[in-house]
Amino acid sequence: MKLSLIILTYNRPDALALILKSAEQQTVLPDEIIIADDGSTAETQILIRSFQKKYSVPLLHVWHEDTGYRISAIRNQAVKKSTGDFLIFSDGDLFFHPRFIEDFKRNALDGFALIGSRVFLTRSATRERLQKKWDHPVSPLFSRQIEKNRINAFRVPCLIRFQKPLKPGKNIRGGLLGVWKKDLAAVNGWNEEFTGWGLEDTELVMRLSNYGIRFKKIKFQAITYHLWHELQTRNHLSRNQKLLMDTLEKKSVKCRKGLNVLE
């Protein structure tokens, strides 16, 4: 199985540097890493080039012009660029536990998509880690670095046997999604009608479910650490909610504007 890690970014080169460092420290490396860049300035490109010179796996950069929040479109560009059979999508505010890729790869099964775990860091812990490029895992016990989801910091792989597949609903998000590329292609990828913050990942999860894909949360594995940041503006949320409801009501499998934008 060839695995592609797709990392979203937008004008956070300090966070991206930490993320790329954690990706390079994996016990099992991805076959390639693709930075899906939603219109960052040249500072991000310079950073990526500096990593490309010394990186141990292919590090690719896809970019489009900054005309607003268009993360579905840039993710689709990254998918088209990818060569992996299995794709992991990660947001640009998450760095990885050293066994993150290993956990995804071990749990990948045909007919399933996987969702990883997040631990939310405090503002002060985020500032310290960005300054020191400190990517080591957070201790799950009593650490003051953790703001939320402390239980997700425990890595206990054997507990996966007790977990049942998830029932997709509006509360399941795909921001830490592992999916077979063939299954993503079958639903026409990310829906590019979603612009602005929110719900594009939930809508993708619903279409994959309508296609017959089952979902498994790999709890106590595939751990990421969420860097603190200000809340995103949500100007388009009501429009995006309507798009999601349309998918739910019609039980849609394919979106109109996705990997094949002419469909």
- Whole-number Å distance between alpha carbons of 93 and 23: 13
Report the residue count for the chain.
263
241: left (phi over 0), alpha (psi -120 to 50) or beta: alpha
Domain boundaries, the chain: 3-250
Q: In what order do the strands lie in the sheet with 176-180?
A: 59-63, 32-37, 3-9, 86-90, 176-180, 112-115, 214-217
Residue 30, token pair as written in the block: 């991805």
Q: List per-residue pLDDT tens for the chain, 263 residues long.
A: 999 999 999 999 999 999 999 999 999 999 999 999 999 999 999 999 999 999 999 999 999 999 999 999 999 999 999 999 999 999 999 999 999 999 999 999 999 999 999 999 999 999 999 998 888 899 888 789 999 999 999 999 887 776 767 766 545 665 699 999 999 999 999 999 999 888 999 999 999 999 999 999 998 999 999 999 887 666 778 899 999 999 999 999 999 999 986 44
Do the bridges between strand 112-115 and strand 214-217 make them parallel or antiparallel, or are there none, so unpaired?
parallel
Instruction: Identify the pLDDT of residue 261.
Output: 64
Per-residue confidence (pLDDT) for residue 237, from 0 to 100: 84
Which CATH number is associated with domain 3-250? 3.90.550.10
Query: What is the pLDDT at residue 230?
Result: 80
pLDDT at residue 122, as a whole number? 96
Strands annotated E in 19-111: 32-37, 59-63, 86-90, 94-96
CA distance 238 to 250: 18
What pLDDT shows up at residue 142?
78
Return d(Cα 64, Cα 39) in angstroms, integer.
Answer: 5
- Contact predicate 58/29, CB 8 Å: no
For 42, the 3-state DSSP assignment is helix
